[in-house]
């Protein structure tokens, strides 16, 4: 049953990632990224990491993606100009991707004991993890929240007319 669920949600994750790359509108890309993050959370659940699954949904699929969509909508990002890409990127990119896939395939095929995961007896409980999280690691979390607040303020400043320059007046159209 775990293998079937893994294959289904890994497929959903891959489909969401491919859809993320193929979308032309930024909001649709953000929604595809939410699908990827949520399916990763299910994969964490299958591995027995409940805290990581909850953090994946709350932090990434929730807060970060809401922040991302807020910034995209605030900046009013229009459609991007479609290009065919550069020739050098195609000349280097496709062979490099083929080499990386070949190396990964070689490593996977030559690895012994693939798929035999064993849980240790010393599993940390969520209570122990939260104790460390809110005592020793409290400062990094607070610093991160301040950085996110600064990013929001920067997005608001950029979205104003004149890109944050108070001296520049917005253009008026339709008046003579």
Phi, psi of 169 (to 5 degrees): -95, 145
Q: Is it the case that residue 14 has pLDDT exceeding 90?
A: yes
Q: What is the mean pLDDT of residues 90-103?
A: 83
Q: DSSP label at 77?
A: -
pLDDT score, position 39? 92
Burial 54-82 (b: 16+ CB within 10 A, else e): ebbbeebbeebbeebbebbeeeeeeeeee
**Number of CB atoms found within 10 A of residue 43's CB:** 18
pLDDT above 90: percentage of residues in the chain: 9
138-159 and 65-75 helices, crossing angle to 10°? 20
At 40-64, the pLDDT tens digits run 999 998 888 888 888 888 888 777 7
At 100-116, the pLDDT tens digits run 888 888 877 777 666 66
Confidence class for position 164, pLDDT limits 50, 70, 90: very low
């Amino acid at each position: 049953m775990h293998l079937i669920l893994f294959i289904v949600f890994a497929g959903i994750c891959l489909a969401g990632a491919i859809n993320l790359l193929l979308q032309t509108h930024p909001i649709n890309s953000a929604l595809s990224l939410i699908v990827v993050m949520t399916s990763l959370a299910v994969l964490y659940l299958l591995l027995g990491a409940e805290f990581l699954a909850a953090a994946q949904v709350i932090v990434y699929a929730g807060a970060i993606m809401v922040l991302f969509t807020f910034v995209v909508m605030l900046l009013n990002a229009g459609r991007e100009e479609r290009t065919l890409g550069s020739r050098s990127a195609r000349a280097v990119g496709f062979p490099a991707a083929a080499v990386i896939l070949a190396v990964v395939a070689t490593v996977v095929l030559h690895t012994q004991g693939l798929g035999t995961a064993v849980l240790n007896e010393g599993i940390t409980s969520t209570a122990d993890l939260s104790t460390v999280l809110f005592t020793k690691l409290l400062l990094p979390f607070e610093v991160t929240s301040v950085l996110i607040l600064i990013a929001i303020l920067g997005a608001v400043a950029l979205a104003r007319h004149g890109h944050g320059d108070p001296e520049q007046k917005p253009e008026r159209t339709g008046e003579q």
